[in-house]
């Protein structure tokens, strides 16, 4: 059983990243400060009115020294 922690920034208490509203336009969402994590959970907060939940995500990062 995993326990998840919210990413909380001093500048922004809780983050909600807004995605695109069409099929083609990419959206870039950045964290306000660097983070180190082993796992990332993405929890959709809205979806199509017919009940379909779709998600395409890419997490970019860099290697640690």
Write the pLDDT tens digit of every residue in 10-48.
Answer: 666 677 788 888 888 888 888 777 778 888 888 888 888
Q: What angle do CA 41, 9, 28 make, to 5 degrees?
A: 60
pLDDT at res. 45 = 83
Which residues form the domain of 14? 1-65
Number of independent structural domains in the chain: 1
Rounded CA gap, 29 and 5, in Å? 19
Name the one residue in this structure whose structure tokens are 């500048």: 11
Q: Looking at the predicted structure, is the pLDDT value of residue 62 above 80?
A: no
pLDDT at res. 4 = 77
Q: Annotate 22-59 with DSSP letters as a single string.
A: SSS-------SS----S----------TTS--------
pLDDT at res. 1 = 60
**Prediction pTM value:** 0.58
Q: What pLDDT band is residue 7 in, cutting at 50, 70 and 90?
A: low
């Amino acid at each position: 059983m995993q326990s998840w922690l919210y990413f909380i920034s001093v500048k922004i208490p809780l983050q909600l990243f807004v995605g695109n509203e069409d099929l083609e336009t990419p959206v870039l969402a950045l964290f306000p400060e660097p983070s180190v994590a082993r796992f990332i959970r993405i929890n959709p907060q809205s979806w199509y009115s017919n009940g379909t939940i779709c998600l395409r995500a890419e997490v970019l990062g860099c290697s640690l020294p």
